[in-house]
Amino acid sequence: MYSAFGFNGEFEIFQGVSKDWAGRFLTKMRTFTARSKDESNEDKRFSEVATGLPDSFAMSGTMLSEFNVYQNGQLTRFTAVSYNESPQVIKQRMIHTLRNFRLRNAYEVPNERGACLPGLFIASTGTDDVSDIGVTFRMKEHPDVTIFFADRSAGDLSKMTSQQRNEFVWTSDAIGKVIHLHGPLRYRPTMMAGRLGTASFATVTRYDGATDYAYLVTVQGDPKAAIDTPDLELLVQRTAKYAAKGVPPVSGDELERIAKAVAASVKRRPVQ
């Protein structure tokens, strides 16, 4: 539920898509764009943009620019929305992203600069690329344990210290209705990805009354750093109702052990 695939816009990634279905979808988008030229509201008009790729379609308008690409059973959809930037800037961002993304094999770790998404890699060629990437994993051995890791370009959120961000996550109401933090030092210093952050461990009372556990690490980003120094967030939590049949949910101590091991494994990816 926390996953987000943002890099210069928002990605949606659909795997296991048939070529016939993708073809119908692309035709539908092309028809929609052609008909939009008759709209009286300028914000609802779009024009087709050449992609140079087979099985693809791109369009741009005053409010957003978008591309859709079908490759090897995967449909990739990217949307960049105009907020404080001109439609032309958003269009160029879409074209730039289209030219710099490619499919990525499972477990492939590219050595060039850019962003990894499920099944995708987007090469980064400028300092103005903006990411908001969060991916959720579930452990095979313990399906009741989910691991959420987020990497966000340093920006407005970076004004929060790592402890303030930690407090914000716990009080955002997204995890549970009651959060009880453990230990005499509820927010304690820790290291993740070679940077100093804040860790906390809690017993969580869910909205349905169930009791679970969660471990949180936050690291403050720095928009002025010479190298990319993003905001980082790691949330490892147990949801007991998802435990494998016949296997008891992990204990609080075991969840904390798993979470600390995951935090220690996070490191910067070497790039060329």
What pLDDT digit, counting tens, does each position of 85-114 carry? 899 999 999 999 999 999 999 889 898 888
Q: Whose CA is closest to 206, among 194, 214, 196?
A: 214
- Answer whether residue 63 shows pLDDT above 80: yes
Q: Whose CA is closest to 167, among 151, 184, 179?
A: 179
How confident is the model over 144-181, as pLDDT tens digits?
Answer: 999 999 999 988 878 999 999 999 999 987 899 999 99
How confident is the model over 5-44, as pLDDT tens digits?
Answer: 999 999 999 999 999 999 999 999 999 999 999 999 999 9
Residue with structure tokens 């050595």?
111
Q: Whose CA is closest to 12, among 82, 73, 68?
A: 68
- The pLDDT of residue 214 is 97
- Answer whether residue 272 shows pLDDT above 70: no
Question: What is the C-alpha to C-alpha distance for residues 47 and 45, in angstroms, rounded to an integer?
Answer: 7
- The pLDDT of residue 163 is 96
Taking CA 89 as the corner, what is the angle to CA 96 and CA 24, rounded to the nearest 5 degrees?
A: 60
Which residues are 121's β-sheet partners? 102, 116
What fold is seen in the domain 133-265?
Protein Transport Mog1p; Chain A (3.40.1000)
- Answer whether residue 271 shows pLDDT above 80: no
- Answer whether residue 68 shows pLDDT above 90: yes
Which CA distances in Å does 197 have to 100, 103, 132, 187?
Answer: 32, 33, 19, 10
* Neighbouring residues of 113: CB distance < 8 A, sequence distance ≥ 6: 123, 124, 125, 271, 272
* Percentage above 70 pLDDT, the chain: 99
- Answer whether residue 128 shows pLDDT above 80: no
CATH 3.40.1000.10 location in the chain: 133-265
On whether the CB atoms of residues 192 and 219 are closer than 8 A, the answer is: yes
What fold is seen in the domain 4-129?
TATA-Binding Protein (3.30.310)
Higher pLDDT, 70 or 226: 70
Question: What is the C-alpha to C-alpha distance for residues 144 and 220, in angstroms, rounded to an integer?
Answer: 29
Taking CA 17 as the corner, what is the angle to CA 12 and CA 20, rounded to the nearest 5 degrees?
A: 125
Q: Whose CA is closest to 250, among 218, 212, 219, 224?
A: 212
- The pLDDT of residue 198 is 97
